[in-house]
């Protein structure tokens, strides 16, 4: 959407100005479809095995036509065929978005369809990466790629849903939703296949390599390099990271609002990015408040630093930075920061707004020692995000509003996404404190059907409603959501009066809670060390 910044695979962030830059319309798209098991009885045994875990079986069978009669086809061939077919459908949806967008009469919807096209291009990039990864994998180690593939394919679903969510007009929304239907079902099928890859390999009598030594993706070892950095980090980035750690980074551009640098604005420094540059463009941003709308283009590879901020490798890393939307509570949906960067980390940062402050849109994200403030759904999105040791502040909303800390947007049961708030504090701001019992504050509500949020080892203030969570609309998602609490403390942590939804659970088993910690949930053991931020991979206590 135009209120968001289109930043390719490295990062997406917004420094918001005094107006609402985006309107995110929360809408539930029906996830119904072909579940006819009889479909599998009319196809080959191999196709039936691959399509068995999917929800849209006829669509799955159709997507595998290219290899269905190949007697020597392997699971890798089937998965590549499914991803390739999905990619074609997303490209078709991209073309449809341009056609449907021609019927948009107002500037808002013209921008919404331009955003759709950007989002679907991101989706195509993720599918191409998935296709390549499957092709580069050996049959024995395909299961080792599961986390990466689920991460990328989950992002594809998020992009598709973001496209539809940005359209308000019912006729245009319905047309775009229908235009994406095949692509959405096929992406969900691909996710289901990847989630069941070990079982599929076993069905094909292919041994699965589950040894720890086989899981080397993004891991560092002495064989990778002698400087301790992971194999995927380029030589120039190794030098840059080492120099930054030693305080010897020479920036390409210096931004200073007082005129002591080369540029007075961040936008001006970005505009000076050399088109033929090889390597990273380093921007040093001196302390100050920069009220700008920043766009980092897809072809710009940046290391963005103030005294302590850096973007290294494939992730965006920010330290000691603030992001604010000053629209106020009357501005309604007003995002301060949107992040789609995979393996991104934010340390000692602050995000302030009211409704929809922090949009954790896609991929794996980590927040440590950060402050996030807002009112309605102020931490939302469809990413795999963990927030550790953060201060989460509920603010005083408009009259007749109530506070909801989270609104996770997991659309499919096969997505690997979820929001985890661990060892944090959830408190009211000073203006809210005197009326904190008159203005209801909830831990979250389900934006999408399979919304997943886990609050654990955190301190909850006395203003948290005894029910804990609130519905989105009627009974929507109450049976399919995944909300859990574990080992929380504080006056608002009591669970005796919590909601009785089928999808809500109080975790009592430590091993169950461990699956939502940074190690297994974000594969944090493979990349958090290189962010420079403090972290713990398991439970705090």
Residue 309 binned pLDDT confidence (cut-offs 50, 70, 90)? confident
Q: What is the mean pLDDT of residues 249-278?
A: 85
Report how far Cα 103 is from the mean position of its chain's Cα atoms: 31
For residue 119, report the phi and psi dihedrals to the nearest 5 degrees: -65, -40
**Mean pLDDT over residues 296-311, rounded?**
48
**% pLDDT > 90, the chain:** 60
Is the pLDDT confidence value at 89 over 80? yes
pLDDT at position 110 over 70 = yes
CA distance 317 to 280: 14
Q: Report d(CA 132, CA 404) in Å as an integer.
A: 40
Structure tokens at 301: 């590879």
| Overall fold of domain 325-531 | Pectate Lyase C-like (2.160.20)
Query: Is the pLDDT confidence value at 316 over 50?
Result: yes
- Can you give the pLDDT at residue 289? 85
Q: At 455, list the tokens.
A: 């609050």
| Residue-level pLDDT at 100 | 94
Active site residues: 377
- pTM, to two decimals: 0.85
Q: Which residues pair with 374 in a beta bridge?
A: 394
Q: Is 391 helix (H, G, I), strand (E, B) or coil?
A: strand
Residue 471: exposure state from Cβ atoms within 10 A (0-12, 13-18, ≥19): middle
- Taking the CA of residue 525 as centre, how many other CA atoms within 13 Å lie in the half-sphere pointing to its CB? 12
Lookup: tokens for 447: 């934006």
Q: Which residue has the higher pLDDT, 317 or 480?
A: 480
Give pLDDT, residue 247: 52
pLDDT in tens, 396-449: 999 989 999 999 999 999 999 999 999 999 999 999 999 999 999 999 999 999
Q: Are 154 and 452 in contact (CB under 8 A)?
A: no
Do the Cβ atoms of 361 and 382 come closer than 8 Å? yes
377's tokens: 């759904």
Answer whether residue 511 shows pLDDT above 60: yes
Residue 68 pLDDT greater than 80, yes or no: yes
| Among 320, 357, 352, 312, residue whose Cα is nearest residue 339 | 357
Q: Which of 232-241, 357-366, 531-540 has the lowest mean pLDDT?
A: 232-241
Instruction: State the pLDDT at residue 296.
Output: 57
The most confident of the ranges 34-43, 308-317, 335-344 is 335-344
Cα 34 to Cα 346, 401, 525: the distances in Å are: 41, 40, 39
Query: Which sequence spans correspond to the domains of the chain?
Result: 43-204, 325-531
Check whether 7 has a pLDDT greater than 60: no
> How far is CA 488 from its chain centroid?
25
Distance CA 13, CA 387 (A): 17
CA–CA distance, 455 with 438 (Å, rounded to integer): 23
Query: What is the H or E stretch that residue 347 is in?
Result: strand 344-347
Domain 43-204: which CATH number of 1.10.150.120, 2.40.50.100, 3.40.50.1980, 1.20.140.40: 1.20.140.40
Q: For the chain, give the mean pLDDT.
A: 83
């Amino acid at each position: 959407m135009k209120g968001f910044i289109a930043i390719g695979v490295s990062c997406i962030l917004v420094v918001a100005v005094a107006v609402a830059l985006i309107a995110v319309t929360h809408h539930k798209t029906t996830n119904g479809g072909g579940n006819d098991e009889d479909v599998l009885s009319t196809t080959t045994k191999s196709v039936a095995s691959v399509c068995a875990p999917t929800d849209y079986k006829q669509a799955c069978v159709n997507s595998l036509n290219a290899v269905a009669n190949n007697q020597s086809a392997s699971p890798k061939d089937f998965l590549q065929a499914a991803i390739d077919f999905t990619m074609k459908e997303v490209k078709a949806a991209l073309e449809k978005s341009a056609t449907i967008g021609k019927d948009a009469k107002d500037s808002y919807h013209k921008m919404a369809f331009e955003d759709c096209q950007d989002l679907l291009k991101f989706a195509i990039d993720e599918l191409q990466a998935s296709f390549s990864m499957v092709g580069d994998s050996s049959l024995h180690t395909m299961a080792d790629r599961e986390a990466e593939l689920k991460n990328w394919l989950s992002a594809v679903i998020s992009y598709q849903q973001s496209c539809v969510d940005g359209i308000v007009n019912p006729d245009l929304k319905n047309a775009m939703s229908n235009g994406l239907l095949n692509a959405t079902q096929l992406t969900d099928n691909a996710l289901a296949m990847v989630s069941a890859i070990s079982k599929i390999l076993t069905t094909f009598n292919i041994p699965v390599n589950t040894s720890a030594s086989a899981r080397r993706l993004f891991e560092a070892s002495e064989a990778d390099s002698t400087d301790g950095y992971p194999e995927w980090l380029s030589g120039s980035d190794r030098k840059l990271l080492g120099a930054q750690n030693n305080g010897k980074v020479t920036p390409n551009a210096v931004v200073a609002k007082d005129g002591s640098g080369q540029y007075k604005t961040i936008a001006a420094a970005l505009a000076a990015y050399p088109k033929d540059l090889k390597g990273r463009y380093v921007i040093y941003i001196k302390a100050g408040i920069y009220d700008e709308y920043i766009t980092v283009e897809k072809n710009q590879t940046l290391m963005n630093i103030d005294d302590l901020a850096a973007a290294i490798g494939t992730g965006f890393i920010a330290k000691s930075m603030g992001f604010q939307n000053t629209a106020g509570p009357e501005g309604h949906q007003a995002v301060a920061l949107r992040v789609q960067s995979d393996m991104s980390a934010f340390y000692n940062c602050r995000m302030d707004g009211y409704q929809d402050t922090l949009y954790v849109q896609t991929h794996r994200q980590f927040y440590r020692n950060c402050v996030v403030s807002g009112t309605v759904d102020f931490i939302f999105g469809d990413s795999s995000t963990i927030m550790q040791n953060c201060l989460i502040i509920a603010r005083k909303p408009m009259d007749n509003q109530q506070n909801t800390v989270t609104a996770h947007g997991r659309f499919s049961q096969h997505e690997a996404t979820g929001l985890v708030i661990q060892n944090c504090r959830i408190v009211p701001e000073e203006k809210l404190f005197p009326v904190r019992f008159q203005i209801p504050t909830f831990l979250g509500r389900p934006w999408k059907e399979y919304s997943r949020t886990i609050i654990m080892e955190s301190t909850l203030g006395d203003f948290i409603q005894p029910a804990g969570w609130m519905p989105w609309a009627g009974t929507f998602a109450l049976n399919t959501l995944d909300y859990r609490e574990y080992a929380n403390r504080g006056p608002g942590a009591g669970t005796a009066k919590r909601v009785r939804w089928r999808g809500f659970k109080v975790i009592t088993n430590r091993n169950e809670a461990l699956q939502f910690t940074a190690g297994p949930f974000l594969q944090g053991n493979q990349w958090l060390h290189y962010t420079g931020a403090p972290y713990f991979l398991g439970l705090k206590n």
